[in-house]
């Protein structure tokens, strides 16, 4: 008997199932030299432990207030939050199912039982009343049944692994929704600020050209100017005014996009235009997060990791379906004559059963399902590996773009500053009669596109910061500097 027990123990131990192991990824130790820029970020940087509220470090009150409002009441985040709660409740339900279960059942039946015996083959059968021969009675039964499945091969660990992976997936989805919403607001606010700046540049250009036209008309009236200069000044003013209607549309469109992101009706954010929004100092900084930390920080990689973990657990459960199962069942109840519980007329019933089952023949279905689960796990590992490579490439691309934009801003500021000087001195020289109107128009035509390019580049710096934050999961380190 002891030898049989030991043999059975080792057989059960040999049936233990586990989930396949995730792949080991080859990560670079550092970023490329072009990306790994070190800046003094003391006091203004964004640490990787504060990813969920990166906007608090932007020194931008308007951006902070908009994102806080969207995070508090955004419908997308509410949906993601409820999914996290759902996954957590399912995880608790899964763990609760590992213990024994108790059920109470009650049944009643009516039955007829004969209280006499007759020979129906006899020719002489006396008449008989039914109430003397057949008795009708009601039998009731009340049971409390308990059941516990003995997990000897690790099924419960795999089930908990599936539930845990669902929680991790839901939490990563929520973080991804927060990151996506906050960076979209950053992008849209950059669009709004750029469009307002472009509108201001258009208005400023119109005013300058009106002043130039007045100057040309004055010179023409006193006989100093000529018809050609007057026609050129009028044409330049008309070109500037032609840009104004389109310039008015872009800020309104950006406000409506912001309203949608905040769950509001179109037109409710138009006050931002009248408040005189301006582009804040451009961000500058490098990457302080290590490549390996992306696995913990990047929501899309965390989701892929959770899917891979769930696929591994499902592969283990599919393998466990080919193994034996054991369960302990017990029941305690009463059976009585009557619809209610009557202990005086009840018969006590109890039972204890130890059951076991093992698959014998199913046409190979379980083994094929196990192979399919293994294939699904292998597919999820490859998706995870490819996702990591894509994120690494996206981080470096976004960081390089932000660095290039920062360098471009410095040169554009210098170009705009000198273009303004040229424009002012050209107008002074024309007023004094030293040069022709052509120099003033040339200076105006050179200044206008430079100012527009500077406004677009400043807004692009914020868009590229949002791209870098999306790529790193909110872990890009940055500071701010005045560009003028």
Average pLDDT for residues 432-436, to the nearest whole number? 77
What pLDDT score does 410 carry? Answer: 87
Tell which wins on pLDDT, 181 or 285.
Answer: 181
Q: Per residue in 61-100, pLDDT tens?
A: 888 899 988 888 777 788 888 999 998 898 888 888 888 8
Q: Per residue in 290-343, pLDDT tens?
A: 888 888 888 999 999 999 999 999 998 888 888 888 787 877 777 776 555 554
What pLDDT score does 27 carry? Answer: 78
Q: Per residue in 441-457, pLDDT tens?
A: 778 788 888 988 888 99
What pLDDT score does 304 carry? Answer: 93
What pLDDT score does 301 carry? Answer: 92
Provide the pLDDT confidence category of residue 4 given band limits of 50, 70 and 90. Answer: very low
Which of 35-44, 103-112, 215-224, 351-360 has the lowest average pLDDT?
A: 35-44
Residue 187 predicted with pLDDT over 80: yes
What pLDDT score does 330 carry? Answer: 78
Q: Per residue in 365-418, pLDDT tens?
A: 888 988 999 999 999 999 999 999 999 999 888 888 888 888 898 899 899 999
What pLDDT score does 6 carry? Answer: 44
> What is the percentage of the chain residues whose pLDDT exceeds 70?
80
3-state DSSP of the chain? CHHHHHHHHHHHHHCCCCCCCCCCCCCCCCCCCCCCCCCCCCCCCCCHHHHHHHHHHCCCHHHHHHHHHHHHHCHHHHHHHHHHHHHHHHHHHHHHCCCCEEEEEEEEEEEEEECCCCCCCCCCCCCCCHHHHEEEEEEEEEEEEEEEEECCCCHHHHHHHHHHHHHHHHHHHHHHHHHHHHHHHHHHHHHHHHHHHHHHHHHHHHHHHHHHHHHHHHHHHCCCCCHHHHHHHHHHHHHHHHCHHHHHHHHHHHHHHHHHHCCCCCCCCCHHHHCCCCCCCEEECCCCCCHHHHHHHCHHHHHHHHHHHHHHHHHHHHHHCCCCEEEEEEEEEEEEECCCCCHHHEEEEEEEEEEEECCCCCCCHHHHHHHHHHHHHHHHHHHHHHHHHHHHHHHHHHHHHHHHHHHHHHHHHHHHHHHHHHHHHHHHHHHCCCCCHHHHHHHHHHHHHHHHHHHHHHHHHHHHHHHHHHHHCCCCCCEEECCC
Average pLDDT for residues 217-235, to the nearest whole number? 80
Q: Mean pLDDT in the chain?
A: 79
Is the domain spanning 15-109+137-481 CATH 3.10.20.600? The answer is: no
Residue 35 predicted with pLDDT over 70: no
Q: Which residues of 391-404 are buried (b: 16+ CB within 10 A; e: fewer)?
A: bbebbbebbbbbbe
Tell which wins on pLDDT, 261 or 46.
Answer: 261
Average pLDDT for residues 210-231, to the nearest whole number? 80
What pLDDT score does 284 carry? Answer: 67
Residue 125 predicted with pLDDT over 80: no
Ramachandran angles phi, psi of 276, nearest 5°: 75, 55
Residue 117 predicted with pLDDT over 60: no
């Amino acid at each position: 008997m002891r030898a049989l027990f030991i043999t059975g123990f080792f057989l059960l131990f040999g049936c233990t199932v586990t989930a396949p192991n995730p792949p080991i990824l080859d990560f670079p130790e550092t970023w490329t030299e072009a990306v790994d820029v070190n800046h003094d970020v003391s006091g203004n940087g964004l640490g990787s432990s504060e990813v969920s509220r990166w906007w608090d470090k932007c020194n931008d009150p308007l951006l902070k207030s908009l994102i806080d409002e969207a995070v508090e009441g955004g419908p997308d985040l509410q949906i993601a939050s409820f999914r996290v709660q759902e996954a957590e409740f399912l995880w608790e339900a899964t763990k609760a199912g590992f213990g024994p279960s108790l059920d109470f059942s009650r049944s009643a039946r009516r039955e007829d039982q004969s209280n006499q015996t007759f020979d129906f083959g006899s020719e002489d059968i006396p008449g008989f009343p039914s109430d003397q021969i057949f008795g009708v009675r009601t039998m009731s039964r009340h049971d409390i049944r308990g059941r516990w499945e003995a997990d000897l091969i690790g099924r419960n660990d795999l089930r908990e692994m599936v539930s845990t992976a669902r929680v991790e997936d839901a939490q990563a989805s929520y973080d991804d929704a927060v990151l996506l919403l906050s960076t979209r607001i950053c992008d849209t606010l950059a669009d709004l600020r750029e469009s307002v700046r472009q509108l201001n540049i258009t208005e400023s250009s119109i005013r300058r050209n009106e002043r130039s036209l007045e100057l040309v008309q004055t010179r023409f009236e006193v006989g100093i100017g000529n018809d050609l200069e007057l026609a050129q000044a009028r044409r330049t003013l008309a070109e500037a005014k032609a840009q104004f209607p389109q310039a008015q549309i872009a800020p309104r469109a950006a406000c409506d996009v912001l309203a949608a992101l905040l769950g509001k009706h179109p037109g409710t954010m138009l006050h931002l235009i009248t408040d005189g929004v301006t582009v804040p100092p451009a961000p500058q900084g490098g990457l302080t997060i290590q490549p390996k930390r992306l696995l913990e920080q990047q929501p899309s990689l965390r989701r892929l990791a959770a899917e891979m973990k769930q696929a591994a657990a499902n592969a283990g459960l599919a393998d466990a379906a080919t193994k034996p199962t054991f369960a302990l069942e017990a029941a305690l109840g009463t059976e009585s004559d009557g619809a209610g519980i009557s202990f005086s007329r009840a018969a006590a019933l109890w039972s204890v059963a130890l059951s076991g089952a093992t698959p014998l023949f199913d046409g190979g279905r379980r083994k094929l399902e196990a192979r399919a689960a293994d294939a699904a796990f292998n597919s999820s590992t490859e998706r995870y590996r490819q996702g990591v490579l894509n994120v690494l490439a996206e981080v470096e691309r976004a960081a390089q773009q932000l660095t290039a934009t920062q360098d471009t801003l410095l040169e554009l500021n210098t170009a705009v500053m000198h273009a303004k000087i040229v424009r002012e001195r050209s107008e002074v020289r024309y007023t004094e009669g030293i040069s022709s109107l052509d120099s003033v128009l040339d200076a105006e035509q050179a200044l206008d596109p430079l100012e527009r390019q500077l406004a677009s580049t400043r807004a692009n710096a914020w868009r590229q910061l949002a791209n870098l934050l999306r790529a790193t999961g909110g872990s890009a380190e940055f500071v701010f500097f005045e560009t003028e």
